[in-house]
Structures are given as structure tokens and as C-alpha cells.
Amino acid sequence: MSGQGGAKAAGGKVVPLRASRPCPICGKKSAPEFHPFCSKHCADVDLNRWLKGAYAIPAVEPPDEWDEGAGRGDGEQD
């Protein structure tokens, strides 16, 4: 007596797509070529933002060494 084992093949397996994050710049669907952005434009925008932040250094003011009132003889003799 042998039982018949019915092996059920697991079919219909749904492979979930990679959750695509929206473009951080405009919120559109990101493109694989410009991941994580949607286009080169948004990639450039982000790059510019980054560069601006990197170059946003405090302005260095020139030293106060403009002494012009030295050696000025006002000799008024009357």
C-alpha cells in the first residue's frame, strides 16, 4: 500500500519589484540611469545644492589695517 504523494508545485510566485524611491528633488519616479534621481536635471540640481553647501564658507573679512591717519602733521602756527 503506497500512498500517492501529490507534490504541489509552488507556482504564481510574485517577485516584488524593488521599491523605487521617488526623486528627492522633484518627487517623480526615479530612473535607474539617474538613481536616485529621475533625470540628469535633478541630479545636477542636487549636485549644485551639494556644491553650494560645500562652498558656503563664511566670508573672510579683510583685516583692519588701514591706518591712514598716521603721520599727519597739522601744524597751525599763528
- Indicate whether 43 belongs to the interface with Zn ion (CB under 5 A): no
In order of 4, 11, 22, the CA distances from 1 in angstroms are: 10, 30, 60
Smallest gap from Cβ 55 to Zn ion, in A, equals 23
Closest CB to Zn ion among 29 and 51?
Answer: 29
CA dist., res. 46 & res. 39, Å (int):
11
41: left (phi over 0), alpha (psi -120 to 50) or beta: alpha
Per CB under 5 A, the list member of 5, 7, 23, 49 interacting with Zn ion is 23
Per CB under 5 A, the list member of 26, 31, 34, 46 interacting with Zn ion is 26
Per CB under 5 A, the list member of 8, 16, 25, 65 interacting with Zn ion is 25
